[in-house]
Amino acid sequence: MGRLACCYHQGSRSGGKSPARVPALCRGALRPATSFLGALCPTTQFFCLSGYFHGSSTGKNDPEDAYLWQNSTIEIQFDSLQIPALDLRPSFIDPPIQGRRFPQRSSANAMKKYKRSPLFNEKKAAEVAAFFLLKAANRNASMTVLKLMKLMYLAERESYRLYGDPIIGDALVSMPNGPVLSASLNLINATPDERDDGSYWDKLIAEREDRYMALRPDTGVTSTEDLMELSQADAEILETIWARFGTKSALQLRDYTHDPKNCPEWEDPDGSSIPIETETLLRGLGFSDTQVEATVANIEQRAWAAGNLALLKTPA
């Protein structure tokens, strides 16, 4: 059934070990994965290491708790639950589609409406935004949409650099004020009626007021430790980004992301928007051709599986 590296149980943020302490392979490291497997066995945590999935419900290297993503099929054995092999061959990622523009109140009204990535995790997007809003509030500082989006993008970029894997799983786009996260910016600019009912974003993030963002006052979230969707590795990345960029202004961050020495993946969209391909980002981060190929294949496999799982969950 192919090779299986050791099962490794991270546990919650309050326990277990940080994936940052696990040796990386092909610029990938053990990280929580929002996956087809995670939906089938929600009580079990899954991790991705260079294209292979591993999980453990006990925290032990138990063959009864082994999961392996292969190139073409996957077999799952979990206690008494057995699921036949499923065809999970990667498929192309749908290209962006054009739709309505953002409301005119947004400075992002030049952005097309891109199709949301199957890997996009709204809960993580909301908690990444909440993390930076909490940090700003602790300094009695305001947070603009532009600055928040730049911090979120830089965190996503750093996650790719360290692990070959995103935190949020958002589509990356070049816009006039620098690179952005497409679906996350959609959430910022949308009205409550335009977001899904029961949106996790609405539970944490207040409606933007002009160009400013803030947490909802009734969330009960008073510390970054309250953000339980974020793994320890995620939190470490966010702390690093805040320490490095938290005191910079929105315009300074815009200029930083325009500089090809810092973000070579960004290109001037001439008043519109241009998708940033994953390959382009990874090459800008210094990945070799072999690393780019392996990382993109892993991401496409996961996106294909997540997209098909979403279809299975859609009511007939």
60, pLDDT greater than 70: no
pTM of the model: 0.67
- 252: number of CA atoms within 13 Å, CB side? 6
Distance, in Å, from the CA atom of 312 to the CA atom of 306, rounded to the nearest integer, reads: 10
* Between residues 191 and 130, the one the model is more confident about: 130
List the single range of 53-62, 164-173, 180-189, 268-277 with lowest mean pLDDT. 53-62
Going by pLDDT thresholds of 50, 70 and 90, the confidence category of residue 316 is low
CB–CB of 262/154 below 8 Å? Answer: no
pLDDT tens for 84-132 read: 333 333 333 333 323 323 333 334 444 555 668 889 999 999 999 999 9
* Between residues 32 and 123, the one the model is more confident about: 123
List the single range of 26-30, 246-250, 277-281, 297-301 with lowest mean pLDDT. 26-30
Q: How many CB atoms lie within 10 A of CB 46?
A: 22
Percent of the chain with pLDDT over 90: 54
Could you tell me how far CA 148 lies from the centroid of its own chain? 15
Q: Helix, strand, or coil here: 237?
A: helix
b/e per residue 231-263 (b: at least 16 CB within 10 A): bbbbbbbbeebbeebbeeebeebbebbeeeeeb
